[in-house]
């Protein structure tokens, strides 16, 4: 993420970690790429939150990594404690920042971050739908043989295998409905592969999880916020009645720009998709209820 953002050339980047020397080394390595990548912003590594003061965006990646056989729910207790501590310090250092939550289980961690920061919900947004939609579009391109540039398809709902909702009803390639391009069995295979996208990477790597696609998805959100691009993107936001869901962080189409979430769109969905969205809302509420208190 830091490397991608630094290469954009419009922002200064600060990496913070509890390990002494680690963020400093990573930052120096990225900074030394500047002569060839051709960016002028600074890249700083630190163990001191004071060095992050007055940040416009804070991307929260903290937490233990997911391992083979481990669900995102398994990460709940440990990562909630970590995220609560990190967000509390980030909010003190940068009280006007937008928080982009990456830590897993992401849906529940958005609730933890909202509580720990005291920010309004518009300034606490999760990236789950961005990554899942990227995978969905990639698999559609692979299956149809069409350019991924022409694929328009979103994953809404939750950021777990059981709760993410790849939207079929409005997916298209170059304006052609996906349902006309793929038979039902192949379409279902794409949906199922999308739902297992993270697990597939973990199983292949055996000693880690995905990082390139998640980074690209997250920095696309940072671009939209810092440059006030007013992009309409699939992000995890606290809903207030949209899709029949209230007070739960669920993936939905939003306009992202200065200040974070500017608009949440309640778009028409097929009946089964709407039911799955509501199931995702119930699931995250259950996770939040099971999250240890601060």
pLDDT reading at 220 higher than 90? yes
Which residue, chain included where needed, has tokens 């903290």?
Answer: 62
pLDDT tens-digit series, residues 120-131 = 999 999 998 999
pLDDT of 13-67, one tens digit each? 999 999 999 999 999 999 999 999 999 999 999 999 999 999 999 999 998 876 6
Query: What are the DSSP calls for 156-199, one per residue?
Result: EE-SSTTTEEE--TT-EETTEEHHHHS-HHHHHHHHHHHHTHHH
148 pLDDT band, cuts 50/70/90, is very high
> What integer is the mean pLDDT of 166-175?
98
Domains observed in the chain:
2-127 (3.40.50.720), 129-290 (3.90.110.10)
13 phi and psi angles, rounded to 5 deg: -120, 135
State the catalytic residues: 159
Contact in structure between 255 and 113 (CB atoms under 8 Å): no
User: Is this model's pTM higher than 0.85 or not?
Assistant: yes
Q: What is the pLDDT of residues 65-88, one digit of tens each?
A: 766 676 656 678 889 999 999 999
**d(C-alpha 210, C-alpha 201), whole Å:** 6
Top-confidence residue, 264 or 289: 264
Percent of the chain scoring above 90 in pLDDT: 88
């Amino acid at each position: 993420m830091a490397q991608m953002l630094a290469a954009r050339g419009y922002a200064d980047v600060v990496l913070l970690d509890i390990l002494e020397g680690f963020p400093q080394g990573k930052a120096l390595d990225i900074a030394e790429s500047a002569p060839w990548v051709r960016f002028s912003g600074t890249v700083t590594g630190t163990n001191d939150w004071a060095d992050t003061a007055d940040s416009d965006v804070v991307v929260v990646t903290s937490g233990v990594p997911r391992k083979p056989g481990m669900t995102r729910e398994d990460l709940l207790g440990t990562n909630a404690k970590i995220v609560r501590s990190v967000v509390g310090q980030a909010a003190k250092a940068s009280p006007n920042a937008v928080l982009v939550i990456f830590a897993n289980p992401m849906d529940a961690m958005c609730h933890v971050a909202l509580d720990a920061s005291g920010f309004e919900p518009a300034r606490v947004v999760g990236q789950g739908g961005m990554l899942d939609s990227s995978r969905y579009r990639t698999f559609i391109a692979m299956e149809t043989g069409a350019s991924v540039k022409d694929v328009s398809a979103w994953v809404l709902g939750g950021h777990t295998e059981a709760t993410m909702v790849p939207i079929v009803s409005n997916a298209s390639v170059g304006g052609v409905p996906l349902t006309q391009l793929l038979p039902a069995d192949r379409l279902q295979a794409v949906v199922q592969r999308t739902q297992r996208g993270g697990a597939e990477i973990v199983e292949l790597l055996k000693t880690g999880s995905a990082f390139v696609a998640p980074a690209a998805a997250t920095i696309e959100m940072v671009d939209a916020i810092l440059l006030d691009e007013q992009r309409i993107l699939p992000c995890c936001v606290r809903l207030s009645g949209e899709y029949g869901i209230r007070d739960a962080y669920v993936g939905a189409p939003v306009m992202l720009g200065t200040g974070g979430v500017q608009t949440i769109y309640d778009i028409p969905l097929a009946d089964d998709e709407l039911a799955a969205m509501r199931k995702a809302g119930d699931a995250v509420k259950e996770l939040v209820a099971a999250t240890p208190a601060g």
